[in-house]
Structure 1
Amino acid sequence: MAAQNLPIGKVSLIAAEGYAQLVADGSGGSFTPDGGQATLLPAEVPWTGRDGMLHIGGRPECLWGEGETRNIGARVEAGYRWMELPNGGGYPLVAWLRCL
């Protein structure tokens, strides 16, 4: 799937499928779009479950099972954007995730 722009609020996101994983304590993780650069995945990000329901906060069901004590990776679709820093640098940041 090619990346596309998603209008979320007043900021468009780049949407792409790829692989996401949380660290064991659930404090964050990464998303790597197919053929792309690893992207920061915050611990608390709006996400859509396989049932189509939107969740604000909490751990995505496909990345963390109830009672799990280890990280789990999965194929997802994520919406991300490039954050610009005052010094001219930047980094990609996930703002939404959908379990596939």
Structure 2
Amino acid sequence: MALSGPIGVAVDARRDRIWVADARAGQVVAIRRGRSIEFRVGALVETREIAVDLASGEAWVTAPGIHALVRISASGAVLERLAGFSDPYGIALDPGTSRSPP
């Protein structure tokens, strides 16, 4: 399992999964603890920070290369791209709610 430029990491302890934003490869990688890569989500260009919604298992990632925030399902599907950010860095989710960021 080779990652070319891992920057952001988030842990989903409920699902025993580690999410990695691999900036150089422009992808997000989901890894099950003690196992190999579960899935990759590519074509994101310069992914940086990542946060996991522990209730749903979805991940949010900043992708400055496409000027967007991207929401990824627990199974690895891109659910949403919120475009229009000039240089998105840093992301956090409120664990006390089930709402997505605006």
Give me the TM-score of the superposition, normalised by structure 2: 0.29
| TM-score (structure 1 length as normaliser) | 0.29
Work out which structure has the larger RCO, using CA pairs closer than 8 Å and 6 or more positions apart in sequence. Answer: 1
Structure with bigger strand share is 1
